[in-house]
Amino acid sequence: MSGRYGLFRWSQSLATLPGFPAGQAPHWNLAPGNQVLFLRHVDGELHAASGRWGLTPAWLNDLSKAPSHARAETLSEQPMFREAFRQRRCLLPANGFYEWRGELRKRPFWLTGEEPLLHFAALWEAYPAGDQLYLSVAMVTQAAAHLRRPLLLDAEQQRAWLAEDTPLAELQALLLIPTPPLRERVLANLVNDPKFDAPECLTPA
């Protein structure tokens, strides 16, 4: 499962989007439950926002059950995700993500793409609490051998994913796109600690 990723470097064009958090800090070890940066359309324009990684629809009573991932194979039908899939799609920008592999002893791997930023398909929700409105997200994942990886979208696919008028059939087709080629390297075990968030997370093995 794609349970960790990093966003520690971003472009000026991203930083100048409406809604980009003024205090956005670099992170090398983002995990479910953390506040994460996401991108969405607001009145047809691209905006940035910060939300909790763990989807919390307004009807969810037990926030401990907030899912951090949505399976691409089933999200269009599941009550937890289907409305957000149709109306509240977003992107999670990242410099790369982690996988743990191995039989007896799992080792962390860092995976990146050809471009400086990857964009993961995601869903967002707003949870009202008193006079506050809290935002949250779930990462969309797809099967990758015996693992699950983020659903990665290129520039054209990102536009279709975010657009409010994209036909449902086209959205469902995006859920089936294969994972693009990725670069990877094996790491030391510093990233195993979800509380450790520093450049040393990427220390090679």
First to last CA, the chain: 21
For a pLDDT cut of 90, what percent of the chain falls above it?
85
Residues whose CB falls within 8 Å of the CB of residue 156, separated by 6 or more in sequence, listed in order? none
Greatest CA separation for the chain:
50
What's the angle, vertex CA 12, arms to CA 134 and CA 84, rounded to 5?
30
pLDDT, one tens digit per residue, over 42-70 is 999 999 999 999 999 888 888 788 999 99
Phi, psi of 44 (to 5 degrees): 80, 0
At residue 65, the pLDDT reads: 85
Does residue 1 register a pLDDT over 70? no
Task: Match 């958090």 to its residue by tokens.
Answer: 21
pTM for the structure as a whole: 0.95
Q: How far apart are CA 135 and CA 51, in angstroms?
A: 5
Residue 46 and residue 82: Cα distance in Å, rounded?
22
**Greater pLDDT, 136 or 145:** 136
Distance, CA of 36 to CA of 94 (rounded, Å): 10
pLDDT surpasses 90 at 145: no
Q: What is the pLDDT of residues 146-177, one digit of tens each?
A: 789 999 999 999 999 999 999 999 999 999 99
Which domains are delineated in the chain?
4-202 (3.90.1680.10)
Question: Which position has the higher pLDDT, 197 or 62?
Answer: 197
Q: What is the C-alpha R_g of the chain?
A: 16
The conformation of residue 15, written as its DSSP 8-state character, comes to H
List pLDDT tens digits, range 93-132.
999 999 999 877 889 999 999 999 999 999 999 988 888 8
Encoded tokens for 80: 């937890």
Q: What is the pLDDT of residue 102?
A: 85
Q: What's the mean pLDDT in 135-142? A: 97
What residues does 30 pair with on adjacent strands? 5
pLDDT given at position 70:
97
